[in-house]
Structure 1
Amino acid sequence: MATEPRKDAAPLRSARKRTERRLPRRAAVGRRSFAPSMKALESVAASGAKVAVHVADLDRGDVVLEGDDHLTLPVAGLGVVPLLIDVAAGFATGALDPLEIADRGADTDAPGGGIWRHLKAPALPLTDLAVLAAAAGDALAANILLERVGLPAVRERIEALGLRRTALMDRFRDDRGPDDAPHVALASARELAELFAALVNSSAVTPAVSVQVAEWLSLNQDLSLVGSATGLDPFAHDDDAHGLLFVNKTGRDVGIRAEAGVLGGPRAGVAYALIVCFDDLSIAHRLRAHEAFRILGTDLMEYVF
């Protein structure tokens, strides 16, 4: 895989395209070098997948693992994050009323992910829709929020955040025709990790907006990728007894797995993002991708504890 030239970079490339093995820079003296993650990601890349990863130390700001993190790739449900930021900003300024009731109407084009379509309530306040979109990956809730604020507003918000390789392109759809955008959202691993770092550092828009979005995302129940290594309860992990901070969002579609977040422990904190775009030809291809996320999660846990 091609890598943007950078003197201090440790590019992630397919093993068959390299003449020698190069491990990423060591995270810190006495800490792991993320070699297991590199081995797993190289294996996925060697199978033909596109892989991008970025991990940065929150305290020092150092990049401890990176590979093809400049590439713009499809990230599916991760596109909800800038939407949530725009919604939270609207709540903060009064442009949106958190208790405004939104009707789900006859939106039958949204994928089946989430739980609102299974609830009896035909309408919910906007703040509850934000919780559903963040915690349950609810595509219907996200679509209604996007309809309320408008795609142009979210794109303006993305630009104001300084994101140049991130775009929310469309609503969630069951079927994408020739007149629809090919993907819900695009992003680079570097920008996703930096965005999550900004959220936990209270520097995304305003401190109040950052705190609100981080609070929503801390409820995310999808701990099946990187989060599978944390041992956290998927349904209640916002106040861990061992002091583990975990804020994340995942993105899933056919042949797409993506995750970005922040993991903090007693020794360190990291912002991370991993995107894998693969040919979903068999369950083995899918499980190989999932295993790479789990191994990265294990390395991240050893870094922060």
Structure 2
Amino acid sequence: MSSHSGQAPEPSDSASGAPVEEIATASRRSHRGSRRTPRRAAVGRRSFSPTLRALEELAQAGAQVSVHVTDLDTERTVLAGDDHVPLPIAGLGVVPVLVETAAALDAGTMDPLLIVDRAEDELVAGSGLWRNLRAPALPMIDLAVLAAATGDPNAANALLDAVGHDQVRSRMISLGMPRSAVLDHFRDRRGPDDAPHVAVGTTREFATLFAALVNSAVVDAGVSAQVSEWLSLNHDLSLVGASTGLDPFAHEHDAHGLLFINKTGRDRGVRAEAGVLAGPRAGVAYALTVCFDDLSISHRLRAHDAFRTLGTDLMEYTH
């Protein structure tokens, strides 16, 4: 893995109710850094050396690794390695689908209370919550919450069908994501006629997408706020998020002012995550993907450890 680690320069001298507005306000505040203390005291802690060592070890063991971290205040890349390479990202690919869903709701072309039936003939039985619920149909807005908060594959498939694959592809191009793509639905098994992966993406493009979300620059402020609100409900804090100490089930309004939104992707031999972490000294947008031979529990745990190492380095950078 080719990599780059730099230091950010020191500073020279929906749309649908109160929660969305709070997210938008917090996002804009985190980007401006208007309430942060001076960051000079943290300069010596910005090498990301532990993360680089962990990722180099994974690469030497045969894993494919891609990482990108951007400082939200300076817009400078502070860590990058093979961030232009598209890799499988599994459930992380639901984020552009959520963007297109929010855009349709914002434009009024989709009814948030439109009832959608679960596709029993194509039910993904291996994961998710909806398959265990008695309700065979749910409103569109609830499916977005399920997809964002729990990574529910059946909810994500229903959203993709509702907004349209072509529209998601066009939206990703308009967002500056030409090397990333949602390729297919979630499936329990992939046959010879199916795409090999549900989605692929580059860490550079996904970190940039998350930076744009908290800067209210994805489609418009309302869409950015709505997607950020959905993602703030994500329960999977087991990778990068493990270092934050946040409650996985209630972390929208942290008592210590920590802003964290993220989305993970998991498949056999694939771990991916992108998000934003903002603290009192700095804010970052990040993305990390590791593709590895899932030959044993130890192989899997080694990949997970790299994400947690990045999380620790990000916490030190932002605090």
Q: 2:271 aligns with which of 251, 257, 268?
A: 257
Amino acid of the residue matched to residue 6 of structure 2?
R
More displaced stretch, 107-116 vs 138-147: 107-116
**What is the CA deviation profile of residues 213-242 of structure 1, one whole-angstrom value per residue up to 9, with x for unaligned ones?**
000000000001000110000000000000
Which residue is equivalent to 1:248? 262
Evaluate the alpha carbon distance shift between residue 33 and residue 27 of structure 1 in structure 2; reply closer, same or farther with a 3 A threshold: farther
- Counterpart Cα distance in 2 of 1:230 and 1:266: 13
Shift of residue 153, structure 1, vs aligned partner: 1.2
SS in 2 for 1:219: coil
Structure 1, gaps ≥5 residues long:
2-10, 13-22
Are the counterparts in 1 of residues 271 and 289 from structure 2 also a CA contact under 8 Å?
yes
Higher relative contact order (CA 8 A, sep 6+): 2
1:27–1:284 Cα change, 3 Å: farther
The answer to whether the 8 A contact 1:246-1:263 is kept is yes
Alignment match of 2:94 (pick from 59, 65, 80) = 80
Paired residue for 1:7? Answer: none
Alignment of 1:303 with 2:284, yes or no, is no
Structure 1 distance, partners of 2:101, 2:252, is 21
1:1-305 matches, cutoff 5 A: 1=1, 11-12=2-3, 24-27=5-8, 29-305=43-319
Offset of 1:111 from its aligned partner?
4.7
> Percent identity at matched positions?
66
Q: Aligned equivalents of 1:107 and 1:66: distance in 2? A: 42
Q: What do the CA deviations read for 1:147-206 (whole angstroms, capped 9, x no partner)?
A: 111111111111111211110000000000000000000100000000000001000001
Per the TM alignment, residue 123 of structure 1 is displaced from its structure 2 partner at its CA by 1.0
Q: Which runs of 5+ in 2 are unaligned?
A: 10-42
Higher helix share: 2
C-alpha separation in 2, matches of 1:105 and 1:66: 40
**Secondary structure at the residue paired with 2:210?**
helix
Q: Which moved more, 1:145-154 or 1:189-198?
A: 145-154
Deviation of 1:27 after TM superposition, in Å, equals 4.8
User: Residue 8 of structure 2 contacts residue 74 of structure 2 at CA under 8 Å; is this kept in 1?
Assistant: no
Counterparts of 1:185 and 1:259, CA distance in 2: 13
- TM-score, length-scaled by structure 1: 0.92
Q: CA RMSD, aligned part only? A: 1.1
- TM-score normalised by length of structure 2: 0.88
Task: Name the residue aligned to 1:20.
Answer: none
SS at match of 1:30: helix
